[in-house]
Amino acid sequence: LGLAQQGKTIECNSASTMTVSIPAETTTDFPIGTQWLIIQMGEGQVTISPNAGVTLVGTPTLKLRAQYSACTLVKRAANSWVVMGDMATS
């Protein structure tokens, strides 16, 4: 994710697993309140992953549940994000 993508919908369309990485604030300083909508368009499961120094919370996991599942990422503080949406249970 980069500043040019801020506030945009990210469509992940692959038959293979994919990872969406959240960069540390020292690399990319997103404003607090930044949001992204992530959609798993393909069959490959999407995992949301924090880079070193980033805290990411969500429940029950950080993986989208199935094809066409979606989640929203929200920056709530410096290097602190929350993910909420149609997440897998394991």
Which tokens is 36 given?
């992204």
pTM of the model: 0.89
Nearest Cα neighbor of 49 from 59, 66, 31, 62 is 62
| pLDDT tens digits along 44-83 | 999 999 999 999 999 999 999 999 999 999 999 999 999 9
More confident of the two residues 7 and 49: 49
Nearest Cα neighbor of 57 from 87, 34, 27, 28 is 87
* CA gap 28, 21 in Å, rounded: 12
User: Residue 56: phi, psi to the nearest 5?
Assistant: -130, 125
